[in-house]
Amino acid sequence: MADEAFQIHLQQLKQKSPGFLETIYALGNGHIGVRASNPLQGNSPAYSGKPGLFVNGFYDLSPIHYGEPYYGYAHNNQTICELPDPRYLIFEVDGVRSDKTPYNVETIDKTWDMASGLLDETFQITTPTGKTFTLTLDSFVSQAERHLYVVRYDIRALNFSGGIKIFKRHDYVNQQIPRATADIRRAQRSNTLMQTYLPATAPIMELSTQKSQLGLLVALRFLGDDPRVTLTTQNDVPCYQINLDLTPERSAQFTFGYAIGDVHDLLAFKLHQQSNVEATVALLKEQTFEEAFAASAARTQQFWQDSDIVIEGDSSLQKGIRFNLYHLFQAAGRDHLTAIPAKGLTGTGYEGHYFWDTEMYMLPFFIYTQPEIAKALLGYRYTTLPAAGRRAREMAISAGVLFPWRTINGEEASAYYPAGTAQIHINADIAYATDLYLRATGDTDFLKSAGFELILNTARFWLAYGNYATYGPQRGHFVLNRVTGPDEYTAMVDNNYYTNRMAKNNLALAVKYADKMAKIAPEKLTDLAVTQDERAAFAEAADKMYLPYDAKHKIKLQDDNAPNRPQFDIAHEPATNFPLLLHYHPLVLYRYQLNKQADTLMSALLFPLDQDEAQLKRDYDYYEKITTHDSSLSRAVFSILANRIHQPQKAADYFMDSSLTDLTDLQGNSEDGIHAANMGGSWLSLVYGFAGMHYGKSGLTFAPHLPTSWQRLKFKIKYRGRQIAVDLQQAAITFTLLHGKPLTVYCQQEPCELTLKNPSKQVSLTDSTN
Amino acid sequence: MADEAFQIHLQQLKQKSPGFLETIYALGNGHIGVRASNPLQGNSPAYSGKPGLFVNGFYDLSPIHYGEPYYGYAHNNQTICELPDPRYLIFEVDGVRSDKTPYNVETIDKTWDMASGLLDETFQITTPTGKTFTLTLDSFVSQAERHLYVVRYDIRALNFSGGIKIFKRHDYVNQQIPRATADIRRAQRSNTLMQTYLPATAPIMELSTQKSQLGLLVALRFLGDDPRVTLTTQNDVPCYQINLDLTPERSAQFTFGYAIGDVHDLLAFKLHQQSNVEATVALLKEQTFEEAFAASAARTQQFWQDSDIVIEGDSSLQKGIRFNLYHLFQAAGRDHLTAIPAKGLTGTGYEGHYFWDTEMYMLPFFIYTQPEIAKALLGYRYTTLPAAGRRAREMAISAGVLFPWRTINGEEASAYYPAGTAQIHINADIAYATDLYLRATGDTDFLKSAGFELILNTARFWLAYGNYATYGPQRGHFVLNRVTGPDEYTAMVDNNYYTNRMAKNNLALAVKYADKMAKIAPEKLTDLAVTQDERAAFAEAADKMYLPYDAKHKIKLQDDNAPNRPQFDIAHEPATNFPLLLHYHPLVLYRYQLNKQADTLMSALLFPLDQDEAQLKRDYDYYEKITTHDSSLSRAVFSILANRIHQPQKAADYFMDSSLTDLTDLQGNSEDGIHAANMGGSWLSLVYGFAGMHYGKSGLTFAPHLPTSWQRLKFKIKYRGRQIAVDLQQAAITFTLLHGKPLTVYCQQEPCELTLKNPSKQVSLTDSTN
């Protein structure tokens, strides 16, 4: 399906800097990610891009330096490794090598067909001796074979005939110059790697980090059989050499495949067991580019089958949303050992760390459209449960676990605890997401094997962390002091509304699932030493959790003392001062009512039954005034909630301001990598916001509000073994059960019974709801 | 006066590690400090001491590394420089040099006569070839000539006769190996210095830091005229060579003087002006050891004349208190450009920084006994007022100044703002001390030249920082949010009692002194743009300052939410876990009611009229239970206040537990330097505590409580041009006006009118007060 609405064309992009293009056209499959570098210039100091290959979960360590180190501080930076660029080529024409003397490279075209996953790029290259040729790359990261990246080069002379030599080698050059930066959102350090070629006929190499003691296996193989391509060595480094005779009449082609493993593959290899990398290499012996690509494209097609969203009425938005969805798909780890780095596998921003936004912004998309990936992402948290237990002990918490604020390997890597470890809400976020997964999938096996332990151990943390207050309005309530909510412009407060509400939920979930486990797997309760007393303690703390509220103004308070901080005068702040965190000391920001992003409002999004519309409206108006949206996570929440308070224009504006953050380089830093959570937020905006999907009192409920300029919003969701298509138009919404048992969904208080016999129900939308 | 009660003998010390002895016997005069090193072994890696010369205000910079750097963070570490040890000698006997092959050195005796300031030490040295001799050092840092350090060596062979060679040179060896330490109270880094010999007949050298661009001048001169001593060079380094013929019958002596300058001296030298160092060198040409020492001893005698405290009934305490007082004298900068490093000039602990404790723990001693030094210390703050203004702007405070939490050069050097910059109470501490100085001295010139600006600009900070609250019990009050009080186990709270009370005072002082300035120097008010509106705003904020109070339990609250934090179970904490800061993450400590040191109680000490005894008793009992005294600043406050609530035994216990912190190595870290503030605290305990001196409703008031085991406590204070001797015995207290105008002091509500005609008044002490 060569559908224009799935294609990202270079000509349609406003920003065209090398780094930006590398990010936008980055390919990935949750295991590997490849930035779309200039294939000749990556190693040149003059080149402003940051080429690289990333392997999810492959990181290096470096000690964190503190001006004043304190007990329990995170010890090591974990930094995702920038691996050698697999697209890189060295040309030699007229005895001049492109790695010694720069060739002129002009980017002619880039087209990414997201329907199939193929990236097609054309460069025009001129040698220092004036010879000009085109270089075309067709490449894909396989969605079918996790280790596989394939690139096909096609070269055609434009103004000459004659021989050229091409070398393809990847002896590691530490391209990464540490970039001194005051922007904490960027990677603060670089990694250095050691590379060892392992005995094999084709170049197969081990890339090892210096500090994390991790290594992985990368194999490079020429696809096909061509006497012009020979495997040789240069300075003892295995190297493919391609000797081509070019003419303007006929292009020359050659194709390479990479099998990019992980630490387990390397271990298998060293144990003389068959590693998956070798299996992939073996596959490459048999498959052509077309065959390998067809397998990948089939999986991609299946992705779109389940996960596509159709928007009629705005073609660039339609394309942008698909861009977001496909990047999410490309970013998500699927092996239960990795999650979604904040920048996907497209850059080193935030050091490649996993944060709470995996659960709170991205997981819903996967839960409802690719539940197997959602399970794998929660599986990553389960894998790191022991590390989270150790962290809780280190933080003097006697029971349960404390998940790290930012991490790759499961250990805390946040070097600034007031906006790191203090964000203990991550525990409740993971529990919330686990519950959402369980509710949406009914996956009892996962509950038994992992889900219950996640919910139980996060709940245990709250009991150990919090206490019952004895003074003031909090008296008799369960309180959580000295915490930081999602809003990082407010830190170290008492009873952050979001945190408390989420912890209350976490505790209640522990009770709910303990009850369920008592029925389906009572032996697990014994194994996990869950007593009746503990269950009662969970219930009581949940019941008595303090939620700060200004009874006079009827506003949910961000924390106990929030109203007594003056409101920051956002309106009169010079535009150049945003994001404020780069222009004000934390102590300044913390002294004001000032939100980087939705915080208290986020809890309204997650618990729609907590408040009526009037309450939500008051809170919305209150917090909107003090929110800068300096976090890319913010606008999606404001968009969704604007729908709930029937402000469709505002909902549309917030959505449009944020939905194309990367494609339009809204924040000016997409070159550091995509904003993965923001992309998840755009799905939430569409499904939770415009379609208004939520868990109502009766069950899965929709409260649709299609923006007036759109004709249509279509998407599918999976729900407990079923798949439902939702087709929202201005006048009506139609629900169609595609497969699975009968289900009743609700729309405008109206139940819609869907069965395979009568699969579709249409609900007409009156003006009053829009 | 070779008075035993002024002498510190090696034999009386329980701890005898090299580093400890270096600190205890360190000499200083506020400008220079010399640790009492082993004179042969300082450069040996095996030596556990940390020899060194310190010059107050001479520091190096190194960039502070942050895991996550934020705007406005302190940029540079400022680290007091460890300069070459001026006591160091190299011996050569039988061709074996002591710097190449270690000689055995045994410390035989050390006696420090604090009455004169002379340090007398004897070492027994054995060469690798078995020759044994004694080395005796008589040394002093001059209290009369700030640049001057003199050391006289005396050598006597014990088991041989023959020639030895001695070299005295100080080419800088970077002795300081960075000591990896998790103890943030220690210096975290070392400095490196460049040394340049300047053209002069005697070795005169420039020591320059690498980063701070500071340099100073040090001159070494042989005192006397002795053909055995020659000035030569070794490897182009000027070096004194002393050739001695030793016999057991007769000792050989030689003396060196050092003139140790500062940056100004170096500048003068480079500008070919007469520097003070050269003046000191010139002086050394004329003076013998005895003459130079006599001048110094005269000033020391004068110090004791004014500042001595006599305790009868506990001779080791008597000696220990003198030890404290003399170390304070040795530590205090007197040039208006330097203050008192936390470790005096005796070590690198806390990087040689000045903190709030200069004003709050040490200044009273100087104000009442050496007011010129007190003035110089406040002068240092005045000198750094411009830097404090820049810091306020950096912290987005529109008016006034914010003094740095820790600094040498006036710029913030705290790498951990929650227990650094957030301790904004430092502003009010400086204002409080300025007022105390002005009240005690009546120094109107200082008010006009510096004091008013200090008080005004600190007050302006509060107006800009704080705001009027609109919610809850704080409504209508002036509040200060997101601050850290003196107790560093509680951070980033709202309305810290101590901070608010001190700020209230600061604002009130601005009003009081603006009124006074209106009378005596109205033009200054115009120059400083002090308007009636601003004065009214000061008055209103002072009046409406919020002071958190639990009306039910009638307890002053440490901060708004303090009662809802659980109390840390100090009683059941293993003794090895103290200080807690080395064993718990800050977030853990902050979550509890847990005090490192007196915080709310400190305000009771400073504002005795704020509360009646019943209130104080309640607060005392409350806070005592949750205080670990992990800070050496704590026990003095508890001792003083115990007197006020008539718990004499507790007062004595707290005093005895802390008064000899260094001499008994109570905290096990005296090797890093003395605890200067603790020494100031011991004076406060005696004068404010046992003598109960304070400003009562009517004026200077005493409420004495002599510990039952003492016979007598005697001290003198200066007060507005007068000097008063106080003689406290069990049955009576006697006040004697030594000079100055008539004065009425108060004791047990009884006015004591003192005049030069009737200089003494005795008040008998009834049992009820004790």
pLDDT for A174 equals: 46
The span from the CA of B256 to the CA of B221, in Å, is: 6
**Residue B661 token pair:** 């912190």
Chain B residues whose beta carbon lies within 8 Å of the beta carbon of residue A581: 70-71
Residue type, A285: K
Sign of the Cα torsion A283, A286, A288, A290 reads negative
Low-confidence stretches of chain B (pLDDT beneath 50): 1, 174-180, 769-770
Alpha helix positions (H), B271-314: 276-286, 289-307
Give B504-524 as a DSSP string.
Answer: HHHHHHHHHHHHHHHHH-HHH
Collect all residues with Cβ–Cβ distance below 8 Å to B302 and sequence separation of at least 6: none
* A170 close to A220: Cβ distance less than 8 angstroms: yes
Sign of the Cα torsion A13, A15, A17, A20 reads negative
Of A396, A418, A588, the CB nearest to B418: A418
The span from the CA of A116 to the CA of A469, in Å, is: 58
Distance from CA of A457 to the nearest CA of B (A): 19
The span from the CA of B514 to the CA of B516, in Å, is: 5
* A403 close to A502: Cβ distance less than 8 angstroms: no
Which residues, listed in sequence order, are joined to residue B233 by a DSSP beta bridge?
B238
Give B708-751 as a DSSP string.
Answer: TT-SEEEEEEEETTEEEEEEEESSEEEEEEEESS-EEEEETTEE
CA B51 remoteness from chain centre: 20
The span from the CA of B434 to the CA of B419, in Å, is: 24
The span from the CA of B439 to the CA of B455, in Å, is: 13
Instruction: Count how many residues are written for chain A.
Output: 770
The span from the CA of A518 to the CA of A509, in Å, is: 14
The span from the CA of B684 to the CA of B717, in Å, is: 12
pLDDT for A214 equals: 86
CA B577 remoteness from chain centre: 27
Per-residue pLDDT for A176 more than 50?
no
Size of interface A-B (CB pairs under 8 A): 172
Q: What is the pLDDT averaged over residues A738-742?
A: 97
Q: A395-399, A616-620, B62-66, B89-93 — which is least confidently predicted?
A: B62-66
Residue type, A591: R
* B416 vs A202, more confident: B416
pLDDT in tens, A441-451: 999 999 999 99
pLDDT for A136 equals: 98
Chain B residues whose beta carbon lies within 8 Å of the beta carbon of residue A422: 587
Tokens 């030069």 correspond to B756
Residues B68, A590: C-beta atoms closer than 8 Å: no
Give A181-232 as a DSSP string.
Answer: -S-TTS------EEEEEESSSS-EEEEEESSS--EEEEEEEEES--TTEEEE
The span from the CA of A729 to the CA of A752, in Å, is: 17
Rounded-to-10 torsion of CA A494, A498, A501, A506 = -100
* B763 close to B730: Cβ distance less than 8 angstroms: no
Residue type, A677: A
Instruction: For residue B540, give the 3-state DSSP assignment.
Output: helix
Q: Is B727 annotated as a binding residue?
A: no
Collect all residues with Cβ–Cβ distance below 8 Å to B676 and sequence separation of at least 6: B327, B328, B331, B340, B341, B342, B343, B344, B357, B362
pLDDT for B201 equals: 67
Among B593, B582, B597, smallest CA distance to B633 is for B597
Q: Is A112 annotated as a binding residue?
A: no
Residues B566, A188: C-beta atoms closer than 8 Å: no
Residues B587, A73: C-beta atoms closer than 8 Å: no
Chain B residues whose beta carbon lies within 8 Å of the beta carbon of residue A75: none
pLDDT for A273 equals: 81
Per-residue pLDDT for A10 more than 70?
yes
* Mean of pLDDT over chain A: 93
- Can you state the angle between helices A263-270 and A276-286, rounded to 10 degrees? 90
Domains of chain B: 84-304 (2.70.98.40), 691-770 (2.60.420.10)
* A270 close to A219: Cβ distance less than 8 angstroms: no
**Residue A673 token pair:** 């990598």
pLDDT for A517 equals: 98
* B138 close to B319: Cβ distance less than 8 angstroms: no
Chain B residues whose beta carbon lies within 8 Å of the beta carbon of residue A469: 563-564
The span from the CA of B244 to the CA of B253, in Å, is: 9
Q: What is the pLDDT averaged over residues A689-710?
A: 95
The span from the CA of B667 to the CA of B15, in Å, is: 12
Of A64, A564, A584, the CB nearest to B67: A64
Rounded-to-10 torsion of CA A644, A650, A653, A656 = 0
Q: What is the pLDDT averaged over residues A473-478?
A: 97
The span from the CA of A325 to the CA of A318, in Å, is: 11
Distance from CA of A354 to the nearest CA of B (A): 17
pLDDT in tens, A252-302: 999 999 999 998 888 888 888 888 888 888 888 889 999 999 999 999 999
Residue to substitute from A77, A482, A500, interface B, most B β-carbons within 10 A: A482
Residues A481, B565: C-beta atoms closer than 8 Å: yes
pTM of the model: 0.93
pLDDT for B340 equals: 98
Chain A residues whose beta carbon lies within 8 Å of the beta carbon of residue B588: 72, 395-396
Per-residue pLDDT for A189 more than 60?
no
Residue to substitute from A62, A71, A426, interface B, most B β-carbons within 10 A: A71
Which residues, listed in sequence order, are joined to residue A204 by a DSSP beta bridge?
A198, A219
Chain B residues whose beta carbon lies within 8 Å of the beta carbon of residue A474: 564
Phi, psi (rounded to 5 degrees) for B482: 60, 55
Give A340-372 as a DSSP string.
Answer: --TTTTS--GGGG-B-THIIIIIHHHHHHH-HH
Of B66, B479, B566, the CB nearest to A564: B479
Distance from CA of B428 to the nearest CA of A (A): 18
Which residues, listed in sequence order, are joined to residue A645 by a DSSP beta bridge?
none
* A242 close to A165: Cβ distance less than 8 angstroms: yes
| Radius of gyration for the alpha carbons in chain B, expressed in angstroms and rounded | 27
**Residue B463 token pair:** 């107006």
pLDDT in tens, A12-29: 999 999 999 999 999 999
Distance from CA of B68 to the nearest CA of A (A): 6
Q: Is B168 annotated as a binding residue?
A: no
Distance from CA of A71 to the nearest CA of B (A): 5
Instruction: For residue B677, give the 3-state DSSP assignment.
Output: helix
Tell how strand A712-719 and strand A700-702 pair up: unpaired
**Long-range residue pairs from A473-476, CB within 8 A, at least 24 positions apart, any chain:** A473/A548, A473/B472, A474/A546, A474/A560, A474/B564, A476/A544
Residues A585, B69: C-beta atoms closer than 8 Å: no
Sign of the Cα torsion A64, A66, A71, A73 reads negative
Strand ranges across the sheet with A237-246: A96-97, A90-93, A162-168, A237-246, A229-234
Q: Is B597 annotated as a binding residue?
A: yes
Instruction: For residue A500, give the 3-state DSSP assignment.
Output: helix
The span from the CA of B13 to the CA of B665, in Å, is: 10
**Cα separations in angstroms, B123 against B33, B38, B183, B195:** 21, 8, 33, 30
Annotated catalytic residues of A are 488
Per-residue pLDDT for A208 more than 90?
no
Half-sphere exposure of B654 (CA within 13 A, CB side): 30
**Cα separations in angstroms, A268 against A54, A271, A277, A334, B522:** 21, 5, 10, 20, 86
Helix (H) or strand (E) holding A144: none
Collect all residues with Cβ–Cβ distance below 8 Å to A707 and sequence separation of at least 6: A313, A648, A651, A652, A655, A690
**Residue B450 token pair:** 């510096």
